[in-house]
Chains A and B, each alone.
Chain A
Amino acid sequence: MTALDRKLFRDFRRLWAQAFAIALVLACGVAILLTTFGTYLSLEETRSAYYERNRFADVFADANRAPRWLMQEIREISGVRAADARISKFAVLDVPGQDETVTARILSLPDDGTLHLNLPVLRTGRMPAPGSDHEVAVNQPFAKANNLRPGDTFTANLNGHQRSLTLTGTLLSPEFIYTIGPGAMMPDNETFGILWMPQTAVAAAFDMDGAFNNVTLKLGRNANINDVIDRLDTLLDPYGGLGAYGRDTQISNSFIDSELEQQRTGAMILPPIFYAISAFLVSMVIGRIIALERSEIGLLKAIGYSNVEICVHYLLLAGLIAVVGTLIGWAAGTWLARALARLYAQFFDFPYLIYNLSYTAYALSGVLAIASAALGAARSALKAARLPPAVAMAPPAPPRFKRTLLDRMLTALRLSQPVMMILRSLMRWPVRSGFTALGLALAVAVLVASGFFTSALDELVSTTFDRSNRQDAILMFEPDIPETALAAVTNLPGVMRAEGQQFQSAVLRHGHLEKDAAIEARRPGADLARIIATDGRVVDPPAHGLLLSRRLAAQLAVQPGDRIEVEFLGGVNETHVVPVAGIVTQYVGLGAYMDIETLSHMLRQAPQISVANLKVDTQALPELHRVLKETPNLSGLIMTDKMQRSFEATIRENVVIMTTIYLSVAVLITIGVAYNGARIQLSERARELASLRILGFSRGEVSFILVGETMLLALLAQPLGWLLGGGIAAALAHGSTSDLYEIPLVLEPAGFALASLVVLAAALMSSLIVRRRLDRMDLVQVMKTRE
């Protein structure tokens, strides 16, 4: 090791507190980038490997009932490489030991056993024997949640007939990585499952001989997916086609897409902040070291070290900080990513683990850390390299303070000398003061952005559950039932009130924009599932016209008063032009609302309902479940209260984790910026401050100058921090918004106040730590040393 290297390591050890403070900030950037980007990559890779290996379909379509021979024509659509026809139905199950009503989606397995697409992975047991009329396989999470093992039996209500089914095996499928029942907000593996059953048995039970109602397609590499979807729609239209769609709107896939998008947003928004702050801190610290080592630099040059060697020496010092930061960041990031993977395991059902972070993520986060440290050090290191040796050996000229207009104004205020010292120093180094304030502002911003999640969740829960969906339970029917049957529903045990809603699949068009949507129709005055207008009022759809949720209206670029084309799907296949009557707030789903009389009139049928919203006497719940288990046509049951609880519990847990991370991160930024700022100030001002002490200033008065400057900058940073925080929150809200849900941008005064308090407290703490050094300063020694 050369002597210069030894100097490097000793300098690093001497500066450890400052270097460590910077390394921690850098580590935050590395950890978050590693977690978000690494998780993004591994989730994406795991998913695409799974899709590839198990031949996940590209196009999906449902219809009411299409003849089998139509498959010939579907397979001949240009670009289609493979196609599977299936029967997909819903059934109510009676699972031993499960009091609640369980619903399942039944999918048919071809009799000849040749499944081409969406190949399930057998986890335990075996597949049902082709041709068997009582054997089924279920998705593994459902079996686990209900304690079902191969060989167990349970009862299913298939189209009104009670049948005993035997479980032969458990499966996972690329179609159901995220398994969510119709109408549910969260996966609930206890009460919703997927059943695979031989085709003959399904066809017999649901009267679908020679017919199918679900088709999935795999496309060739060069196929145009839109052409295929158009052609498939045309073929299925006569048979009640409900609109074909691609992977982007396949439920399971789009939930993963939205998770991927969130990770991507996370990787793009936060890490750059940390890298930038670290670069600034490195530049501040290395700049100061170089100022202090002026004469040593002159000496090294005098001895014959070249400019490059000196430049590299200081870059290496920054590099060491980056290496420490990167190592801490990698450790923290690996831990975080594993925690995230465990969280994913709760929601996403993959046949393999997604723990492995790719080397790319490690490399990228590390390279960026080193690059940002080097960038931060570059200016000072180059300055050191360019410093002419003769100039370096001479003591530096004292900093030039000038009397500016502002200065004269301050003088007129008759401020005390210490206050003048603080203000002059800020004005003398405006760039450094500005960056310090910016760094502290970013800490405030990070906290404001994290507080936003809690407020946003409160708003989302209060709008979605307390104000909008006030029903205790939702019954779903497949197919729709006449509205007149609502009377029978009201007569179910414990039901105090029942209201019906119809969901009608449709394509909404405005100009060249179009969107698949389910139009929700209801009677005016519906009280259990209410529509909330953007101004917070409860509204009903008008007699003629549609109410659109804000995101849907934005996607179609429509405003109240505009007219849109509505093409009904599912056998009706008529197009109507309907005015947009208003915009409503809806955070979950893309809603479009219509009066049920208007819709029935357009469809030329008596009012039908797809869903019944119930107000239930909780005492009678067990009895209600018992009756529902025997109700035909029931495709699903959602207990709203349970859904709200599981939704809140899950999201709150995430929010608590997020908030904790953000809080630690903001405190680390503040300490990194404030501590280094105060240390550098102390180093520059040591002689001045010592002189003041010798002149008779007390310790308190002298440390006021030191602490005062840091705190003044921290105060100045607040408004900017609030502004930036609002911006980051908006970016995060925007980045998290998808067709599935919207995160409302809610910013509460309390959130801003808390952010400011935390940052001011951390800044004060950091400068007080530096103050202790000031207290211990040896006055004589300081005065004797040559600056």
Chain B
Amino acid sequence: MQAVFRTQGLSKVYDTGELKVRALDDVDLELYAGELAVLLGPSGSGKSTLLNILGGLDHATSGRVWFRDLELTSLNDRRLTLYRRDHVGFVFQFYNLVASLTARENVQLVTDVAPNPMPAAEALAQVGLEHRLDHFPAEMSGGEQQRVAIARAIAKRPEVLLCDEPTGALDSKTGVQVLEVLRDVNDRLGTSTAVITHNAAIRKMAHRVVYFLDGRIDRIEENATRIAPSQIKW
């Protein structure tokens, strides 16, 4: 299978002056095209740091990272910005919607700058929000806000979708709705998706599960059978 991401000896050390925190320690990992991978682990195990580096939001301290043939670790900030703009979709735990923009306008933030976006309304329809186009974030539930965030992420037709605790701020029922959208995007659009969570229940919907512990990959499991998000409970 073709790898979209490949890391080699990847390490990240946070230096706060008095304290050096080794957030990632010599990680070698491949994520494949079209797969839905769940990165599982407790707080501080390094999964968010990995996702930030893969998404071009952060620099590695040492080691190398490739997106297909593009070596991300060799890019400067300007090139990383272009990389994010052209290839990556993000979904965050706290949605990070712009409070002063409506759902449609939040999606337009992306479609304004992406090279080949889908119409904002279409992206919102993909996540089942075609009736909430002109609502402001404050007028929507947490699950709806997260779905706007997903619509915003997929509107640019990204090759990879990176989700950091997408259900972390949601209750079980709305969380499942969000997972269904992610699964649907992965199935229909074939977008390679990496989902970070410390919620073990979610692992069963993934093709592969990567377990993190203390900045290292503890083990990788492959799910022989995936279950539908609707069957997940927590």
Contacts and interface: CB of A to CB of B under 8 A. Distances in A.
Q: Do A and B come from one complex?
A: yes
Interface in B89-145: 90, 92, 94, 96, 98, 100-101, 105-110, 112-114
Interface string A285-318: 0000000000110111111111100000000000
A388 interface: yes
B22 interface: no
A390 to B, nearest CB: 4
B81 interface: yes
B58 A306 contact: no
Query: What is the interface residue range for chain B against chain A?
Result: 20 to 34
A786 B59 CA distance: 26
A118 B98 CA distance: 70
B105 A6 contact: yes
B114 A304 contact: yes
A414 B184 CA distance: 62
B101 A7 contact: yes
A388 B82 CA distance: 15
B64 interface: no
B98 A393 contact: no
A296 B96 contact: yes
B98 A296 contact: yes
B112 A7 contact: no
A10 interface: yes
B75 to A, nearest CB: 13
A305 B100 contact: no
Contacts of A780: none
B84 A298 contact: no
Given A10-B101, A389-B57, A304 B113 contact: yes
B77 interface: yes
B219 interface: no
Nearest to A9: B100
A785 to B, nearest CB: 10
Contacts of A14: 100
A2 B117 CA distance: 14
Interface in B59-92: 59, 77-78, 81-82, 84-86, 88, 90, 92
A11 B100 contact: yes
Contacts of A11: 100
A389 B53 CA distance: 10
Contacts of A304: 81-82, 84-86, 88, 110, 113-114, 156
A46 B61 CA distance: 69
A295 B59 CA distance: 18
Nearest to B106: A3
Contacts, number: 83
Given A7-B100, A11-B100, A393-B96, A303 B90 contact: yes
Contact of B84 (A2, A295, A301): A301
A305 B94 CA distance: 20
Contacts of A388: 57-59
A305 B105 CA distance: 15
Interface in A1-33: 2-4, 6-7, 10-11, 14
Interface string A390-403: 10010000000000
Contacts of A302: 55, 57, 84, 88, 90
A305 B86 CA distance: 11
Nearest to A5: B112
Given A4-B112, A300-B109, A393-B57, A307 B81 contact: yes
A603 B52 CA distance: 98
Interface string A659-683: 0000000000000000000000000
B96 A2 contact: no
A339 to B, nearest CB: 41
A388 B80 CA distance: 11
Nearest to B120: A3
Contacts of B109: 3-4, 7, 300, 303, 305
A2 B57 contact: no
B94 A2 contact: no
Given A3-B108, A14-B100, A301-B84, 17 more contacts: A3-B101, A3-B107, A4-B109, A7-B105, A10-B100, A296-B98, A298-B57, A301-B57, A301-B81, A302-B57, A304-B81, A304-B84, A304-B85, A305-B113, A307-B77, A390-B52, A393-B92
22 contacts: A3-B107, A3-B108, A7-B105, A7-B109, A295-B94, A295-B96, A296-B96, A301-B57, A302-B55, A302-B84, A302-B88, A303-B110, A303-B113, A304-B81, A304-B84, A304-B85, A304-B113, A305-B85, A305-B113, A307-B78, A388-B58, A390-B49
Interface of A: 2-4, 6-7, 10-11, 14, 295-296, 298-307, 388-390, 393, 786
